Amino acid sequence: MALVFECTSALSTVGSSLDLTPALGSDSKLIVIVLMFIGRVGVLTLISSLIKQKKITKYKYPSDNIIIN
């Protein structure tokens, strides 16, 4: 239950802790760091930045071969 509280606190960027973080391993601390980053940036913002969007243009640049003496 304490781990769920730590992860929820990290994701919602509340700053509350049960002083469990120093006892975690390095992999678990990395997960908490990633959850803090996702909570700070925002889930929707992070997902929309990762999805490649196709740029639709409604214009076309003119092209022509110009011959100069």
What local confidence, expressed as pLDDT, does residue 34 receive? 92
67 has pLDDT over 90: no
Task: Tokens for 49, please give them.
Answer: 């930045």
Question: Which tens digit of pLDDT belongs to each residue from 13-47?
Answer: 888 888 888 888 999 999 999 999 989 988 888 88
3-class secondary structure, 43: helix
Tokens 């049960």 correspond to 18
Region 45-66: what's the mean pLDDT?
A: 85
What local confidence, expressed as pLDDT, does residue 14 receive? 85
What local confidence, expressed as pLDDT, does residue 55 receive? 82
C-alpha–C-alpha distance, residues 50 and 44, integer Å:
10
53 has pLDDT over 80: no
Amino acid at 43: V
